[in-house]
Structure 1
Amino acid sequence: MEVKSRYVTIKHHINGAPKQSDFEVQTVTLSLSLDPGSNDVLVKNLYVSIDPYQLNRMKDYSASQMASKYALAVLPGQAINSYGVGRVVASANPSYIKDDLIVGLIGWEEYTLVRGEDAIMIRKLDTTEFPLSYHVSTLGLSGLTAYGGFFNVCKPKKGETVFVSAASGSVGNIVGQYAKLLGCYVVGCAGTKQKVDLLTDKLGFDAAFNYKETTDLKSTVKRYFPDGIDMYFDNVGGEMLEAAVENMNMFGRVAVCGVISEYTDAKRRAGPNMLDVVYKRITIQGFLAADYMNDFLDFISKTSDHIRNGRMHVIEDISHSLESIPLAFEGLFAGDNIGKKIVQIADI
């Protein structure tokens, strides 16, 4: 028996802002009869993650393509892998049986054939306590990114000050909630009034501002941090990073999660005042979620408990159908999403 699987791919390399017209849907036929001993697993994909970093994989060149196996270049016509949740429909792997739910590296496609050598990139989902989408958002790599970056890079202490850019996004909203639970003073920035209101009214940020409504970021940041910033969780880079570093305290820490301001315009670059970095002894550290996989069980346990007891909110923005993926991806760079952007490809 066979299944036809549609998948989203790029028509050509994308070196600027992505558009729906840059993508197309192709079809491949997959066999339900897997070779015994291959350890292959065929997965029907249910929810997949839509992430800004994927754009760097679609360019004809990005330094990220050479730096991480999770950011390898995507060629036109090639399936695009992504984190997600799926259901096993066939298995030659003794660790999985038909109808098992799995979470891990699947793809922007209806079915993913997980080869035996790649089976370490998925794991069985043993609980259905939470909606499946949570395992793509707050209990997925976005949550681990926030957890690892905040607790391991920022090394926070109760009472310290925290600034979060793109604070209503998939990672930033979680960072802010962790920081408030720890007892920090937290300010976030976002691009619309709706997002700013979400940060203060629902997520408990001490303050938030719309960066699009200010002409002087440095003075705006100073107004919200009159006594300086201890930690800056950076998702955007550029002028926001400049403004944060100028307002940082001695021995401030910057966790660099992303630089989305540069993803669509390589010429738009800005950097912090390095004299500030030197004389304030500021630490600036980039990181990836993969750096903290050893903390995954601890992250899942603590974050699940926060969600279970109403101490954390899960903020998701879910679109539906495989065909919606290009629009969902385009929307990331227009600031359309609030929280984690996910596409539901199929029902369980």
Structure 2
Amino acid sequence: MEDQSPQDEAAIPEAASPSRRLQWKSIGIGVGVTVVVLAVGVVFLVRAGQGTEIQQVSIHVEEIINQVETARPREAETAVFLPAQVGQTLLPGDGVKTASNSEARVDIVIQKFLRIARTTPNTVWRLGQFALERDTIIELDQGKIFLLDNGLGAGFPPVRIVTPAGTASPRGTWMSVAYDPQTGVAEVQCFRGTCELANDVGTQVLTDEQSSVATAQTAPSEPVYLSQEEIDAFTGLPEAKRGEIAVPAPAITPPTRTPTPTPTPTPTPEPSPTPTPTPEPSPTPTLAPTATPTPTSIPTPEPTPTPIFEIPEIPEIPEIPKIPEIPDIPSSCRPDLNRLPPLNRLANGLLLIAPLALIAVVRRVRR
């Protein structure tokens, strides 16, 4: 075997150096690709984790008072409402209906944040779409809904309550939305925070303790402040009274409202005849007191004695001469006195008294 010369040995490393460089270069490229792949994988994992949180949205029935029903859309055109159950999950398209003297509480849970929709009596609404990256839609057909927020972050899309007269949306607030299908009027009461009422005719922004109304043909009205009774309706909600959700303080202090007393209707008086003016009596002059005369005693006249009529003395009647006895008359010629009529007897008596009366009259005349 021939010995290599020193020149040949020096030439060998020079020939091998290009291959080593290529090898190191390949290793560097592989490491770089690996790092990039790992970084992309980490990014995808993080985003995948966030995507899992996005799906953490649920809506369920939390409380039922008296008669509450829900309906799930089926092939039938008319929704069939069945008694609701506490803990029941609601899906897009489900409806909620409360009877008179009935209420329902529906919790909208987005991750760790909570929105409460309290349904008042005689209310019907349906749940539209809901997800973290999209607005939660509640379609209100009739009645009233209170929407309470326990501090949902500003980056989350709001709940929108859609009525035939307009759409209401809060921004981290307490509000109520009511719709009357008979009058077609929608009313939004913004208790705390900022609210918006909009329709095809216009838009109105509300703040603390303000309200606005609208119809499908009219723009939302200018905001007016809530009455004390309307404010008490918010602070008297069960969640607020139990302290489950603290009542937020207003960002702007509303003006102090003095309750206006309800005017009592004054009955319309019936027209009365015009009174005739009564003339005032002329003042009577005051007379000086007249001296009262002292009564003079008048002697009572003595009664004149009435003369007593003296009966004249009747003179003695002279004796009547005796009548001679009548001779006996034969019975055949003498009348029977007993047979005389009564008139003859009376005449005989008068003949006897007549002289006496005549004498008395004569004496009377002489006096």
TM-score normalised by the chain length of structure 1: 0.18
- Structure exhibiting the larger radius of gyration computed from Cα positions: 2
Greater relative contact order structure (CA < 8 Å, 6+ sep):
1
Whichever structure has more helix as a proportion of its residues is 1
